[in-house]
Amino acid sequence: MALIFIVEKSCGQFIIPGEGLMDVKIGSDWDEIEWELGFKGKKIRKSDVSSSLLHLSKTANVEFDFVVSYRHLMWLPVSELYFKNDRVCMIRIDSSPDYYKMLCVDIGTVEGLNFWDKTERVKEIYGSRKFSKHDGKSFVAFSNIGLGVELSEDEVRSMVIFQPQIE
């Protein structure tokens, strides 16, 4: 009797919309994040946050007090954490800069969306929504599940996780 194995592309680490990635979770405090990532990161006041990060939060309808940047070589491609009332309210996972690319190859959502998937794949999994444009990138938020997707050149390059909201 021959055994047949079907191999599908699978992810080693899952992004769970509305919850987080591994032990980096919505609702965590900064000390918990420091323990998980190994350092505190760089705090950025809301008034100093870039327009692209402000655009992400506005599209996802997430209010925040400050952002912490983790643009360092790490074992998880967490690039920014948004904090409200000293708790994580949004997590950004990014395949840029180049040193994050190899980390993102093995990360995707539990529903099957992976980095470098095309717009059509996003629509196939989560349904068609209007994409906003900012700085040459497209962004869509699925507020009902707590996931936002940023595309550059028609490829998923960044994802954000936040608390699901009633639409």
Q: For the segment 26-50, what is each residue's pLDDT rounded down to a tens digit?
A: 999 999 988 888 888 899 999 999 8
Q: Tell me the mean pLDDT in the region 62-74.
A: 84
**What is the domain partition of the chain in residue ranges?**
13-162
pLDDT in tens, 118-159: 999 999 999 988 888 888 889 999 999 999 999 999 999 999
- Whether pTM > 0.75 for this model: the answer is yes
Q: Which two tokens stand for residue 27?
A: 């609702």
pLDDT score for 8: 40
pLDDT in tens, 73-90: 566 778 899 999 999 999
Q: Is 71 helix (H, G, I), strand (E, B) or coil?
A: coil
In contact, 90 and 161? CB cutoff 8 Å = yes
First to last CA, the chain: 52
pLDDT in tens, 91-104: 999 887 666 677 77
Q: Does domain 13-162 have CATH number 2.60.460?
A: yes
Q: What is the DSSP string of 114-140?
A: BTT-BHHHHHHHH---PPEEETTEEEE
Phi, psi torsion values for 122, nearest 5 degrees: -60, -50
